[in-house]
Chain A
Amino acid sequence: ETGVTQSPTHLIKTRGQQVTLRCSSQSGHNTVSWYQQALGQGPQFIFQYYREEENGRGNFPPRFSGLQFPNYSSELNVNALELDDSALYLCASSLWLNEQYFGPGTRLTVT
């Protein structure tokens, strides 16, 4: 049984660009949540997807969007990148409301 995987591990983007981060859920999981962890902070909930539909959103602007695919993998898209978007982005999968399992994260640097 493979755990939650995320790609890429690191990437560097320029302010104003767009980025797509990817997450593969743990086998058997149908729910994916995304979190942003800025340096020195705890993870902040961005949004959750359940069976390809958004199921709750934190306090993030619309330029943060996502997708969940039929195989329950997921993407996080961020448009018009700002310097403050530099952070570790964590994906977590679960079987609906059960325990979340986190991936190792993608480190995004915006210059």
Chain B
Amino acid sequence: DQQVKQNSPSLSVQEGRISILNCDYTNSMFDYFLWYKKYPAEGPTFLISISSIKDKNEDGRFTVFLNKSAKHLSLHIVPSQPGDSAVYFCAASPPNSGGYQKVTFGIGTKLQVIP
């Protein structure tokens, strides 16, 4: 049972445009949501997170939006750069885990930013 779902396996975007990566979850107990970025032959790297008490968190070119009623979150990258090309994992963590631990991952979306 996939508790964190990323329904788009891949996404191609022109350099300079906005990339929007989507994620849905089914477990309403999740209270912290994270996005990780993964390059080939490397482990996932934490990118940005959002607590369930917020609906938006911004860090430079990266913004995560959370819609709790729809159990949906999205990652916006503006402007997209070729170096952003990677696999992006949406993830969620349970209560009392500090937000970063015992994380449930989606299957990932491969983003390609075309120069």
Contacts and interface: CB of A to CB of B under 8 A. Distances in A.
A90 B19 CA distance: 27
Contact of B44 (A41, A58, A90): A90
A98 B42 CA distance: 20
B4 interface: yes
Contact of A104 (B41, B46, B106): B41
A48 B96 CA distance: 14
Interface of B is mostly: loop
Report which residue of A35, A92, A99, A100 has the largest number of chain B beta carbons within 10 angstroms of its beta carbon: A100
B44 A43 contact: yes
Given A48-B101, A56-B102, A94-B101, A41 B46 contact: no
B105 A97 contact: no
Contacts of A100: 46, 100-101, 103
Interface string A30-41: 010101000011
A73 B10 CA distance: 36
Nearest to A98: B100
B43 interface: yes
A96 interface: yes
B107 interface: yes
Contacts of B108: 42
Contacts of A98: 98, 100
Interface of B: 4, 6, 41-46, 89, 91, 97-108
Closest 3 CB pairs of A and B: A97-B98, A102-B43, A42-B105
Interface of A: 4, 31, 33, 35, 40-45, 48, 56, 58, 90, 92, 94, 96-105
5 contacts: A31-B101, A42-B4, A43-B105, A94-B101, A102-B43
